[in-house]
């Protein structure tokens, strides 16, 4: 990883750390966007998936760990792997590039929702181990999913587009 990307990765970790510590709407977080971005931009380094995970672990040192923490870390690591698919050259003004980012960000948020709430169902005593309990678990989580999806979309578009503009020589073609 070159020095510029190392500084950028450090800044992303600090931003995610601070975003988790300041008061915010539940589940309104940059972590899914950061995971996707890490896979797209830093995947030449074999530890790229640790960028979102380290931001989460650092903030958990202050906020506290819980039994679902490993599931969340694993989910974000997999989302970073998924982000490698966003690593192509694209035109900033291209609707296709922006819609690809929209689709992948939405899929990442849905994946995170499905995996983490399945873990809530199996690893906590909140719901009975029945089909109705599983449905209830996902139903109760829907308000949180809205915040997850909206924040992931906002942070993804800002992060990818700011990085693309910052690294572009022509502001048209960008290697992400």
CATH number of the CATH domain containing 66:
1.10.1760
The answer on pLDDT for 169 being more than 70 is no
* pLDDT-based confidence at residue 171 (cuts at 50, 70, 90): very low
For the segment 24-44, the average pLDDT, to the nearest whole number, is: 90
Q: How does the average pLDDT of the chain come out, rounded?
A: 87
| pLDDT for res 147 | 96
Domain of 71 in residue numbering reads as: 3-175
The answer on pLDDT for 170 being more than 70 is no
- Is pLDDT larger for residue 53 or for residue 6? 53
Q: Which residues, in sequence order, are bridge partners of residue 60? A: none
| pLDDT for res 44 | 78
Phi first, then psi: give them for residue 126, nearest 5 degrees.
-70, -30
| pLDDT for res 1 | 66
| pLDDT for res 135 | 98
Number of domains composing the chain: 1
* C-alpha to C-alpha distances, 75 to 5, 57, 141, 146, 160, nearest whole angstrom: 23, 13, 17, 18, 20
| pLDDT for res 89 | 41
| pLDDT for res 118 | 98
Q: Which residues, in sequence order, are bridge partners of residue 49? A: none
For the segment 50-69, the average pLDDT, to the nearest whole number, is: 91
Category of 95 on φ-ψ map: left (φ > 0), alpha (ψ -120 to 50) or beta: alpha
| pLDDT for res 93 | 58
């Amino acid at each position: 990883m070159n020095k510029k990307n190392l500084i950028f990765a450090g800044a992303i970790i600090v931003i995610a750390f601070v975003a988790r510590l300041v008061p915010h709407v539940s589940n309104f977080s940059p972590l899914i966007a950061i995971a996707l971005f890490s896979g797209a931009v830093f995947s030449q380094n074999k530890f790229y998936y640790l960028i979102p995970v380290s931001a989460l672990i650092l903030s958990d040192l202050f906020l506290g760990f819980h039994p679902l923490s490993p599931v969340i870390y694993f989910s974000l690591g997999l989302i970073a792997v998924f982000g490698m698919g966003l690593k192509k050259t694209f035109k900033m003004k291209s609707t296709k590039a922006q819609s690809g980012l929209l689709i992948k960000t939405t899929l990442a948020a849905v994946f995170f929702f499905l995996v983490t709430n399945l873990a809530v169902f199996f690893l906590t005593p909140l719901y009975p181990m029945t089909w109705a309990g599983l449905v209830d678990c996902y139903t109760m989580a829907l308000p949180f999913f809205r915040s997850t999806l909206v924040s992931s979309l906002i942070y993804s578009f800002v992060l990818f587009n700011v990085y693309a503009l910052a690294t572009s020589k022509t502001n048209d073609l960008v290697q992400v």
